[in-house]
């Protein structure tokens, strides 16, 4: 029996190493693609293996080494959840003092636990059996959750870009006209001038006047078609309303993946590709648009994926690395935005017509830019109001857009098509992401106006722009562009705005168009 015990396989360190990734995926499966977890799974497996081998060299006993490795993994991966529970439970405003107190406790607990493991004299083979069983059960529960989700959503239809119908609408196109570069620039949560004045007491007219002076048409009464980024971009990039998804996917779901697929394979890039355009994609950290697998070129800063960063923030490594200034998504976002603005100015040097999709998390959080573009530290951010941080990033965004637009207009031949557009407006105070769930069916007209009013500006050279109008919404943007420049005969869709009831029913759409009128109460 003793020989059998010694040969008993020690699995639990590897299974416990995999568990946090699988657990996190199971609880975010409606927003995370399987490909996003492959690298974290591989890294966790290697990490668990190295821990086990290290402690085996120290203790010369596989059962004690396995127990020591699992203890280490427990402290390593439980730090973030414990920190969050304390911070939310006591509603702490400053995480720095909590880190300063919790970190020494966690490190002392880890060191003392490993010391006590080393002092154990008895054979731990029975403990190995128990931990193997517990780790298998933990993984099995999460795998069952993932499998159940897969079965529930197996019948969901994949999105197919509507190219056949679009090409049938082409009635004529001047083949002699050189094709202009096309820039579709999304400035996330950039409110309309009316919204900024009404709710922030901020006058954005100098920037609007700049755009008008440069030849842009600014749709002063434009609203977002949908409440959030994924649905708004799925609509504008496929040039159609997506309310049909309430029947296709169902209203009682929070599954974002059908919409995310529409942000990759969409009608606009396919149509332009068929006309000879090169497709260049500039993405943020947000994984649905961080890169596009169909693009000829992706421009981004190499970094951990959003899921990997979420997993990393649960670990003991997070506060340590943040103290030394590395693996900080705020620093990364500051660097990414500046890098991408620089790279955008180089697009006119590319040969042939280029379609450029750009998604900036500006003035969207994280609030990492002050009004002059300098980095805002976490401490500085904690001392400033949300309104100030948002407006600072509005000012910075205006300046960078002016610099970019001046460069594109002076360096491009023929003149480019430029659309500068927000996908949504800012969340009303108290309804920011991460706050308690909110039923948008109960939102006041003022709250809806603040959330849905957006910046929407068009530079359309060498064509009659009378077709544009002040209340145009993003769903019609490329319908107009394709009609004017590519000879299509696409009818314009109703400029309607929709919200969903709550985050558990994201396809239960409610038409709020009438509630967005300035005189609505």
- Domains of the chain, by residue range, sit at 2-152, 182-516
pLDDT at position 441 is 86
DSSP-derived pairing of the beta strands 297-299 and 417-421: unpaired
pLDDT at position 207 is 98
pLDDT at position 251 is 87
The continuous run of DSSP H or E covering 251 comes out as none
- Does residue 226 have a pLDDT over 80? yes
From start to end of 325-378, where are the E strands? 354-360
Average confidence score pLDDT of the chain? 88
CA atoms within 13 A on the CB side of 271: 26
Contacts of 197 (CB under 8 A, 6+ apart): 203, 204
- Does residue 2 have a pLDDT over 50? no
Q: What is the CA radius of gyration of the chain?
A: 26
pLDDT band at 177 (very low <50, low <70, confident <90, very high): confident
CA distances 161 to 157, 263, 392, Å, are: 12, 10, 38
DSSP-derived pairing of the beta strands 217-218 and 417-421: unpaired
DSSP-derived pairing of the beta strands 509-511 and 417-421: unpaired
CA atoms within 13 A on the CB side of 320: 11
Q: Which residues of 373-404 are buried (b: 16+ CB within 10 A; e: fewer)?
A: beebeeeebeeeeeeebbbbbbbbbbebbeeb
Name all contacts of 445-448 with Cβ < 8 Å and 24+ positions apart: 445/515, 445/516, 445/520, 445/521, 446/199, 448/499, 448/512, 448/515, 448/516
pLDDT at position 317 is 85
Instruction: Provide φ and ψ at 339, rounded to 5°.
Output: -60, -45
What whole-number distance in Å separates Cα of residue 289 and Cα of residue 186? Answer: 11
- Does residue 500 have a pLDDT over 70? yes
Q: Where does 173-243 have alpha helices with state H?
A: 193-200, 205-213, 229-238
Lookup result for tokens 């029975």:
126
Higher pLDDT, 9 or 194: 194
Residues forming beta bridges with residue 223, ordered by sequence position? 453
Lookup result for tokens 């490993």:
114
Q: What is the average pLDDT across 206-234?
A: 97
Q: What is the average pLDDT across 104-108?
A: 88
What whole-number distance in Å separates Cα of residue 338 and Cα of residue 373? Answer: 9
pLDDT at position 215 is 96
Contacts of 103 (CB under 8 A, 6+ apart): 319, 320
The continuous run of DSSP H or E covering 441 comes out as none
The continuous run of DSSP H or E covering 42 comes out as helix 35-59
Of 270, 273, 95, 318, nearest to 179 by C-alpha is 273
Residues forming beta bridges with residue 187, ordered by sequence position? 360
Using CA atoms of 132, 133, 134, 136 in order, give the dihedral in degrees to the nearest 10: 80
Torsion sign, CA atoms 342, 343, 344, 346: positive
Q: How do residues 113-168 score in pLDDT, each as one tens digit?
A: 988 998 898 888 899 999 999 999 999 999 998 888 776 665 455 555 555 555 55
pLDDT at position 102 is 81
Instruction: Provide φ and ψ at 61, rounded to 5°.
Output: -145, 120
pLDDT band at 4 (very low <50, low <70, confident <90, very high): very low
pLDDT at position 8 is 63
Q: How do residues 87-102 score in pLDDT, each as one tens digit?
A: 776 665 556 667 777 8
Residues forming beta bridges with residue 282, ordered by sequence position? 299, 358
Q: How do residues 407-423 score in pLDDT, each as one tens digit?
A: 999 999 999 999 999 99
Q: Which class would CATH give 182-516?
A: alpha beta
Angle at 411 between CA 409 and CA 412, to 5 degrees: 70
Q: How do residues 272-319 score in pLDDT, each as one tens digit?
A: 999 999 999 999 989 899 999 999 999 998 767 778 888 888 888 888
Q: Where does 214-325 have alpha helices with state H?
A: 229-238, 245-248, 257-262, 267-274, 287-290, 306-312, 317-324
What whole-number distance in Å separates Cα of residue 480 and Cα of residue 456? Answer: 14
pLDDT at position 293 is 93
- Does residue 176 have a pLDDT over 70? no
8 Å CB contact between 72 and 106: no
8 Å CB contact between 365 and 394: no
Q: What percent of the chain has pLDDT over 70?
A: 88
- Does residue 398 have a pLDDT over 90? yes
CA distances 146 to 130, 138, 261, 447, Å, are: 25, 13, 19, 36
pLDDT at position 96 is 63
For residue 154, give both structure tokens. 């197996």
């Amino acid at each position: 029996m003793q020989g059998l015990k010694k040969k008993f396989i020690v699995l639990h360190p590897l299974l416990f190493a995999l568990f946090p990734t699988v657990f996190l995926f199971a609880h975010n499966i409606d927003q995370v693609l399987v490909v996003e977890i492959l690298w974290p799974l591989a890294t966790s497996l290697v990490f668990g293996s190295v821990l086990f081998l290290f402690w085996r060299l120290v203790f010369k006993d596989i059962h004690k080494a396995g127990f020591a490795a699992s203890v280490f993994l427990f402290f390593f991966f439980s730090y973030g959840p414990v920190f969050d529970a304390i911070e939310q439970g006591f509603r702490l405003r400053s995480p720095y003092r909590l880190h300063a107190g919790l970190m020494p406790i966690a490190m002392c607990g880890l060191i003392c636990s490993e010391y006590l493991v080393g002092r154990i004299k008895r054979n731990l083979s029975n403990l190995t059996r128990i931990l193997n069983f517990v780790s298998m059960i933990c993984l099995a529960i999460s795998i069952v959750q993932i499998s159940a989700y897969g079965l529930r959503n197996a019948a969901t239809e994949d999105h197919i870009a509507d190219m056949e119908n679009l090409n049938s609408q082409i009635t004529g196109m001047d083949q002699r006209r050189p094709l202009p570069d096309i820039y579709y620039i999304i400035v996330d949560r950039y409110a309309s001038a009316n919204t900024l004045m009404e709710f922030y007491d901020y006058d954005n007219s100098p920037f609007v006047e700049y755009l008008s002076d440069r030849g842009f048409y600014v749709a002063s009464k434009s609203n977002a078609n949908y409440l959030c980024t994924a649905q708004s971009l799925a609509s504008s990039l496929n040039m159609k309303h997506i309310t049909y998804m309430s029947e296709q996917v169902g209203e009682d779901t929070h599954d974002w993946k059908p919409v995310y697929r529409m942000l990759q394979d969409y009608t606009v890039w396919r149509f332009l590709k068929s006309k000879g355009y090169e497709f260049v994609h500039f993405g943020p950290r947000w994984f649905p648009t961080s890169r596009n697998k169909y693009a000829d070129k992706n421009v981004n800063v190499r970094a951990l994926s959003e899921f990997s960063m979420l997993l990393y923030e649960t670990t003991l490594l997070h506060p340590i690395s943040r103290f030394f200034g590395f693996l900080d998504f705020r620093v990364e976002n500051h660097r990414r935005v500046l890098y991408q603005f620089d790279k955008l100015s180089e697009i006119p040097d590319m040969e042939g017509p280029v379609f450029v999709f750009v998604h900036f998390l500006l003035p969207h959080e994280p609030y990492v830019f002050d009004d002059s573009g300098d980095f805002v530290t976490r401490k500085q951010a904690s001392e400033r109001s949300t309104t100030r941080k948002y407006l600072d990033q509005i000012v910075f965004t205006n300046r960078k857009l002016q610099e970019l637009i001046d460069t594109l207009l002076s360096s491009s031949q023929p003149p480019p098509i430029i659309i500068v557009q927000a996908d949504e407006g800012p969340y009303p105070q108290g309804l920011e992401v991460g706050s308690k769930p909110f039923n948008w069916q109960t939102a006041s007209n003022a709250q809806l106006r603040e959330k849905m009013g957006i910046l929407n500006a068009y530079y359309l050279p060498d064509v009659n722009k009378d077709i544009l109008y002040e209340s145009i919404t993003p769903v019609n943007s490329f319908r107009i562009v394709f009609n004017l420049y590519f000879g299509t005969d696409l009818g314009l869709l109703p400029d309607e705005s929709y919200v969903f009831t709550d985050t558990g029913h994201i396809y239960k759409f409610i038409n709020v168009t009438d509630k967005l009128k300035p005189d609505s109460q």
